Amino acid sequence: MARRPDLGREKLERVRDLTNAHVRDALVAGYEGLIPALSLPDEGDRHVLAAAIRARAGVIVTYNLKLFPASELETYGIEAQHPDEFVRHLVDLDPEAVLWAVRA
C-alpha cells in the first residue's frame, strides 16, 4: 500500500490472492531464521534474500538493483535482475508463452 497507494487495497489484495492461488511456489515458508545472518544495504530487504535462498531461486527481480549487490548474492547463487532484463530472458526462453501471457 505504501508504494502503490494509487492501486488501492482491494486491487492489491486481489493481485496477491490470484498470485497465491495460481503461481506455483508463490509462497515461501521457513526463511525467517536466515534473516539475521544476511547483509544487504537495506536491512529491511533481508527477508527477500532469505526467501530466495530458501526457495532456491536463481533470480531476484527488482527495480532497485543497488539494494541487492552481486557481491552479497553470488554466495547463494542468486542474481538480481531488472524486470525488463527478466522479461527479455523469458522471451528468449519461450517467445510463444510470453506472447500468450501478454495477450491474456
**pLDDT one-digit tens code per residue, 39-89:** 999 999 999 999 999 999 999 999 999 999 999 999 999 999 999 999 999
- pLDDT at position 3 is 80
Bridge partners (DSSP) listed for residue 81: 61
pTM of the model: 0.78
Is the pLDDT confidence value at 9 over 80?
A: yes
**Annotated domain spans of the chain:** 31-103
pLDDT at 25 over 80: no
Beta-carbon contacts of 78 under 8 Å, excluding residues fewer than 6 positions away, are 49, 52, 53, 57, 58, 59, 60
Residue of 78, 89, 6, 16 lying closest to 45 (CA atoms): 78
